[in-house]
Amino acid sequence: MPKINRPIKTAADIGQLIRDYRKSKGLTLETVSGISLLGMRFLSELERGKETAELGKVLQALHILGLEVTITPRGEE
């Protein structure tokens, strides 16, 4: 299981986390696209760290994968 509780500082960080988690669950981009109604191109670009990815769609992808965003001040858990 990939480490998912880690600091996210860049779009590439969140993309890598999403890719690692998706693969750990044995899901393909095609499968996630089908159940989320998000395009495979969007998901692929998201996983490659596209900085202009639409926030609402990013949150939708996270939700479909069973992940959620928690924001905390640096240095706190």
* CATH number of domain containing 24: 1.10.260.40
Residues shown for the chain: 77
- Please classify residue 57 by burial: count the beta carbons closer than 10 Å to its beta carbon, then call 0-12 exposed, 13-18 middle and 19+ buried: middle
The answer to whether 38 touches 49, Cβ cutoff 8 Å, is no
Predicted local confidence at residue 58, as pLDDT: 97
Domain annotation covers residue 53: yes
The pLDDT mean for the chain works out to: 93
Domain limits at 43? Answer: 11-64
Domain annotation covers residue 22: yes
The answer to whether 32 touches 39, Cβ cutoff 8 Å, is no
Q: How far apart are the first and last CA of the chain?
A: 20
Domain annotation covers residue 26: yes
Domain annotation covers residue 70: no
Domain annotation covers residue 6: no
pLDDT digits (tens, 9 = 90+) for 31-54: 999 999 999 999 999 999 999 999
pTM above 0.95, yes or no: no
Domain count of the chain? 1
